Amino acid sequence: MPQSDEFEEKYDESDEDDGEIEIGKGRDLPSHEHLDKVAGASADPVKDYLKQIGRVSLLTAEEEKDLSERIEAGLYAQHILDTAEEGELSFEYRRELQWAANDGRKAKDHLLEANLRLVVSLAKRYIGRGMHFLDLIQEGNLGLIRAVEKFDYTKGFKFSTYATWWIRQAITRAMADQARTIRVPVHMVEVINKLSRIQRRMLQDLGREPTTEELANELNMPIEKVEEVQKYGREPISLHTPLGEEGDSEFGDLIEDTDAISPQDAVAFSILQEEFRQVLGTLSPREAGVIKMRYGLEDGQPKTLDDIGRIYGVTRERIRQIESKTMSKLRHPSRSKALMDFLDN
């Protein structure tokens, strides 16, 4: 069986322990740029990605040490290149430094690519918690990059042991930041995840959903705190969630829009607008204009006396007089009767 297929089988297996992760060996890995593109290369991007990363060989402890030394040498060489004054370095020395810096980057890519399967093995534990699997892998890869940058091979740790912490941290923090529509603090996400694990285990043991009291006893937590965590843990549901076997309706179709205007009110409002236009038509253009601007009847933005005065080139007092006189006209029964019928209703 091809070794990439062996890895896919290992990926599919359940893995609940928190110890070091052992993964099957593979062969040569394609370029890093190619891996960035592979997720969109087929109808099954996850399977495609797993096949690609399953081709790189795992590293021995000696190979990890060699790559780490090259990375460190490359970083040091790049630091000298970045800080040296112009003309300070000889041509030969600069060329040696550039070679070392480039070799360090190649070593970094090699160390990263040899541990991409570690990211997948860790990311699969967080499937079903609000983020797509490929997104979990992407975030885990960022943690892996951080681990490569901070790894100190002189302390004698295996790189996979060291990288596991950084990968998990990157994934869990990304889940806290991105997986929820409503932002939940990282520490609360950890409590929510713990509660979910306990709830699943008790469901298997009891054969039913555990009560809030049972969860509180198991977690040694007040009932009120458990209820609060459960409230934070609820995921919002999209209004566009399809319903029914045909999926021809959405969840939002069942929710009443309390702000929506009823058809009857919409018709009445349209008639009221027409009646009001007719009433304003009995006024002079200036009187109608002052009322429209003063009460924002056209653009919804009421204007001050000063604003209207500047438009007509008169004082604010003159506009106030026009407004007062016009309102008296509008209150006359000959004009107000039609409008009062709407107010009464």
Could you report the per-residue pLDDT of 135-193, keeping only the tens digit for each?
899 999 999 999 998 888 888 888 888 899 889 889 988 887 765 555 667 677 778 88
User: Mean pLDDT lowest for which of 19-28, 54-63, 105-114, 220-229?
Assistant: 19-28
User: Mean pLDDT lowest for which of 2-11, 74-83, 224-233?
Assistant: 2-11
pLDDT value at residue 254: 72
Confirm whether 255 is domain-assigned.
Answer: no
The structure's pTM equals 0.44
Confirm whether 292 is domain-assigned.
Answer: yes
- Tally of domains within the chain: 3
Q: Over 60: is that where the pLDDT of 300 sits?
A: yes
**Is there a contact between 79 and 51 (Cβ–Cβ < 8 Å)?**
no
User: Mean pLDDT lowest for which of 91-95, 117-121, 201-205?
Assistant: 201-205
The residue to which tokens 């007062």 are assigned: 324
Q: How far is CA 64 from the centre of its chain?
A: 35
pLDDT, the chain, mean: 78
Confidence of residue 54 (pLDDT cuts 50, 70, 90): confident
pLDDT value at residue 18: 41
Q: Are residues 157 and 50 in the same domain?
A: yes
Specify burial of residue 300 (Cβ count, 10 A radius: 0-12, 13-18, 19+): exposed
CA distance 283 to 146: 75
| Domain assignment of residue 214, given as a range | 182-235
Helix (H) or strand (E) holding 242: strand 242-243
Confirm whether 245 is domain-assigned.
Answer: no
Q: CA torsion angle for 333, 338, 340, 342 (degrees, to 10)?
A: 180
The residue to which tokens 């040498």 are assigned: 73
**Is there a contact between 119 and 83 (Cβ–Cβ < 8 Å)?**
no
Confirm whether 163 is domain-assigned.
Answer: yes
CA distance 125 to 133: 10
